[in-house]
Each structure stands twice: as C-alpha cells, then as structure tokens.
C-alpha cells in the first residue's frame, strides 16, 4: 500500500515538473500567467513534500520488516498455529482471543481471572485457560510447560496483560510498585524466555507487546505506569536487534502496540479526567483489530493507535514539551489500582477446562 501510494505521488510530481510553464502553453485555469506560475510552483512544492513523506513511510516499513519487502505469510498455517495471550480473559485481550479464534488459531490464555461471559460456548471449547500469575517466573514456567504438553510449542506470543495505578510517586507503596512492574514489564521477560527458544529453533514466530502512548508522554499520577511502558519500547528494540544479530533469526516477527486511552477497566476511575482534558478514548475493538491484523499480515513493526506526533515530542523544545504535559496534569487523580489478586499458588500453571 505504501509503495503503491509512493509511486502515484512520484508520478504526479514528475508530471508537475514536466508541466506547462510558458505563456504559450494551454491554460487549465482562468488565471493570469503569473498566477498560473505561482500555483504550479506551490503544487510542485506540496507534491514534493508529499513524495518525501511517502518515501519515508516506505523506508520505515522496509526497515521494520527486516529490510525485506515481501512478507512471509505463506509460512503460516493458521489452523496449526498456537498463540499464547496473557491477560486474555477480559478486556482487549479477550477480543484479541476471539479474533484469533476466527482465523482458526488455537489459543492458550495466561490469566489470573476466569474467562469473561462474552465468550460463547463454542469459543470456550477452543480456548485453554492456564491460571497463572505472570509476575511470577515460577508460575510462568509451570504454565509454559503445561501449554507445551497440551498443544506443542506456540508460534505466537502476545504479551497483552497490564494493570494500572493512580497515585503520586510518594503515595505508591512497594507492594503496588512490585506488582505493577511485575505484570506490565518483568512478565514479558519471563514469557519470552519460555517461548522464544522454540521459535528460534523453528525459525518462525511472532512476539507482540501491548504498550501505551504514555511511553512517549509521562504525566502526573502515572509515573510507574509510564515507566513500564517506556521500558517495553527498549525491550522491543533490543529483542528485535538480538534476533537479527545474536540469533541470526530475522524471520521471527516483533511488534509493539501503542494504544491511546482505551475504554477498559484501566481508565474507569479517571475517565472524567480524560474527558475534561478533551482526550479521545478508543474502543477496545479497534485496538484488538489492529493487533490481530498485524499478526495475520506476518509483519513486524510499531503500531501507533494515537497521535503519531507523540513519538517526536521529546525532540520538541522543552517549553513545548512541558506545555503538552501540563495539559495532562489533572487527568490521573485519586489513589487506586486495577491489580487483580492472583489465584492460589497451588493452581498456578494448570489448565482449566473451559468446556
């Protein structure tokens, strides 16, 4: 798509460069010669800038896909693929699971909660739920062993689980900090360490992380949440580089998703603040659709579901950065957490019959 659009803009630019510029040329608009020359000059500049933008998009896509233009969708047989989805029992994760099932992909859910009522019985029959506190490396290992025993080695890992805290830095307790960092960031290390080796051995796989636009813009009341999401960006970049240069396995895809505010339980306590700041709120369906579309397309990359300019904010002048953050200063207020108590340890890693 980007390449085709780039070629169209390039053709338009070349046509404008070769277009009429002399007084003897036929007039396409009822303008004087000077006016026609000015319009043509403006069109050339605008089209030239559009061409630069499209070339940049093509280069970005090429780089994200490991400097390969063609995707290897043919290497994937969706009905024989197994996906692990953390936090897949409810929220965005549940919609992701539903969409994966619609493509025939078998799904193993790692979560502390039972499957939501939104799942139909036929869907429940095709989901394996492993009650697991993903902040515990021991429980992740037990769950991974159970998944491999039940389904073989997964080829897709979607680290979707996330929790949030509302509170200032001084209000945050060590327990809440450890829980949030464990779920939002450290768990990605645990699941990748469990499932990536088999992907490398087979030279096929896809690792996806759900981040947030707060990875680019941090503000009052959500320091620890933004810190974990910024950490995911570093993890994604390092994982991509290690797959290419350490394991010589560029075939494995890596994606990171940056949703903006999304209507889930994470924003329940701060939704009024978001609306007061006139910030848009996405529907979870939109986020899940973008995530699964990326999986099915067998492409690597960053999926920005908020203002694309956010990624450049740290390059802005300091006064402008602070103005943007000041506008978000009263969004997150109060003192709360969305953490769900983990299940009893005795049940960790076990498969739950969802039929």
| pLDDT, tens only, 273-283 | 777 777 888 89
- Kindly state the helix (H) or strand (E) to which residue 280 belongs, with its residue range: none
CATH 3.40.50.720, the chain: domain bounds: 77-337
Q: What is the pLDDT of residues 31-83, one digit of tens each?
A: 677 777 787 788 888 888 888 877 877 777 767 776 666 666 678 999 999 99
Superfamily of segment(s) 77-337 = NAD(P)-binding Rossmann-like Domain (3.40.50.720)
Active site residue 225: yes
With contact defined as beta carbons under 8 Å apart, do 83 and 156 qualify? yes
Across residues 214-219, what is the average pLDDT? 90
Mean pLDDT of all residues in 122-143: 97
- Tens of pLDDT, residue by residue over 3-38, are 677 777 677 767 777 765 554 455 555 667 777 778
State residue 10's pLDDT score.
73
Residue 143 burial by CB count (10 A; 0-12/13-18/19+): exposed, middle or buried? buried
Q: Give the active site residue among 98, 225, 253, 299.
A: 225
Q: What Cα–Cα distance (Å) separates residue 59 from each residue in 68, 71, 117, 349?
A: 11, 15, 44, 43
Residue 344, burial from CB neighbour count under 10 angstroms (0-12, 13-18, 19+): exposed
Q: Cα 146 to the chain's mean position, in Å?
A: 27
**Annotated catalytic residue 258:** no
98, 99, 229, 299: which is the annotated catalytic residue?
229
pTM of the predicted model as reported, rounded to 2 decimal places: 0.82
Mean pLDDT for the chain overall: 86
Task: Convert the pLDDT of each residue in 225-249 to its tens digit.
Answer: 999 999 999 999 999 999 999 999 9
List alpha helices for 263-352, DSSP H: 271-276, 284-296, 318-326
CA distance 206 to 37: 52
């Amino acid at each position: 798509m980007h390449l085709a659009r780039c070629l169209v803009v390039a053709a338009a630019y070349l046509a404008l460069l070769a277009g009429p510029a002399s007084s003897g040329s036929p007039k396409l608009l009822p303008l004087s010669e000077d006016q026609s020359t000015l319009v043509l000059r403006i069109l050339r500049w605008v089209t030239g800038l559009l061409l630069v933008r499209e070339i940049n998009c093509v280069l970005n896509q090429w780089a994200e896909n490991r400097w390969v233009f063609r995707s290897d969708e043919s290497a994937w047989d969706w009905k024989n693929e197994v996906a692990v989805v953390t936090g897949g029992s409810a929220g965005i994760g549940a919609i992701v699971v539903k969409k994966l099932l619609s493509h025939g992909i078998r799904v193993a859910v790692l979560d502390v909660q039972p499957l939501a009522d939104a799942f139909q019985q036929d869907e429940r029959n095709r989901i394996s739920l492993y009650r697991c506190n993903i902040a515990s490396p021991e429980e992740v290992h037990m769950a991974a062993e159970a998944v491999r025993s039940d389904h073989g080695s997964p080829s897709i890992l979607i680290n979707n689980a996330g929790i949030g805290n509302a509170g200032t830095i001084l209000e945050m307790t060590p327990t809440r900090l450890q829980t949030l960092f464990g779920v939002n960031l450290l768990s990605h290390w645990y699941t990748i360490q469990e499932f990536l080796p088999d992907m490398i051995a087979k030279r096929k796989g896809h690792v996806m992380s759900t981040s947030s636009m707060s990875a680019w813009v941090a503000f009052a009341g959500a320091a620890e949440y933004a810190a974990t999401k910024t950490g995911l960006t570093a993890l994604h970049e390092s994982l991509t580089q290690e797959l290419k240069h350490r394991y010589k396995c560029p075939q494995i895809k890596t994606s990171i998703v940056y949703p903006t505010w999304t209507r889930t339980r994470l924003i329940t306590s701060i939704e009024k603040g978001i609306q007061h700041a006139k910030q848009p709120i996405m529907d979870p369906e939109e986020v899940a659709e973008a995530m699964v579309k990326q999986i099915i397309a067998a492409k690597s990359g960053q999926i920005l579901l908020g203002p694309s300019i956010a990624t450049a904010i740290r390059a802005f002048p300091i006064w402008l950065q602070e103005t943007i953050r000041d506008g978000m200063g009263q969004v997150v207020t109060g003192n709360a957490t969305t953490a769900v108590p983990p299940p009893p340890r005795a049940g960790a890693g076990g498969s739950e019959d969802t039929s």
